[in-house]
Amino acid sequence: MDNLEFLHEIENASGENISTCYQCYKCSNGCPVAAEMDLLPHRIIRHIINGNREKVLGSKSIWMCLQCMTCSVRCPNNIDIAHVINTLRKVSVKLSMEAQKDRWLFDNLFLDSVKTHGRLYELETIMKYKMAKKDILSDTKMGIDMLLKGRMGILPHSIKDRKMLRAIFKKVEDDRPNGW
């Protein structure tokens, strides 16, 4: 087996030239959530190059990334690191290796809402997330304050042609390779 199999897999899936990394550490130095990470961004890249699949795909770091893009715009080798991390999330979920499920859960509920209404229905999405997490009562005070200040819609703002939008979603989902 080619030892570079994992590197090639992630390079192909992301379209990024990961192997050009020379470990300057700029990505990790600028990362606002470095303190939350079990593997710093420059190490994620190095582990990909070294083929350490489990270490990378099972890391908490790939889920703590905020996609703020600081690393991506600073990389001297033009590696869009945030994009690499976003690609790793998809691969990790596909192989059921994800260390943390909250981000994936929330983003999928967000997209379900868009698929149903055409636009995000915040209240419904947040309630569904809280129900899935079995944590309905936290943040009640914050939620009520937001409702009182008119910062949370009670009703959805749906578009008219939802049928057409759902058809578009379905076409994209049907073409997604192996639930990618």
Do residues 65 and 82 make contact, with C-beta atoms less than 8 angstroms apart?
A: yes
Per CB under 8 A, 83 contacts another protein: yes
Residues between 32 and 61 that touch another protein (CB under 8 A): 32-33, 36
Binding another protein (rule: CB under 8 A), the pick from 114, 124, 127, 128 is: 114
Binding another protein (rule: CB under 8 A), the pick from 4, 24, 66, 95 is: 66
Instruction: Give the footprint of another protein on this chain (CB under 8 A).
Output: 32-33, 36, 64, 66-70, 72-73, 75, 78, 80, 82-83, 86, 89-90, 102-104, 106-108, 110-111, 114, 118-120, 122, 126, 129, 139, 141-142, 145-146, 149-153, 157, 159-161, 165, 168-169, 171-173, 175-176, 180
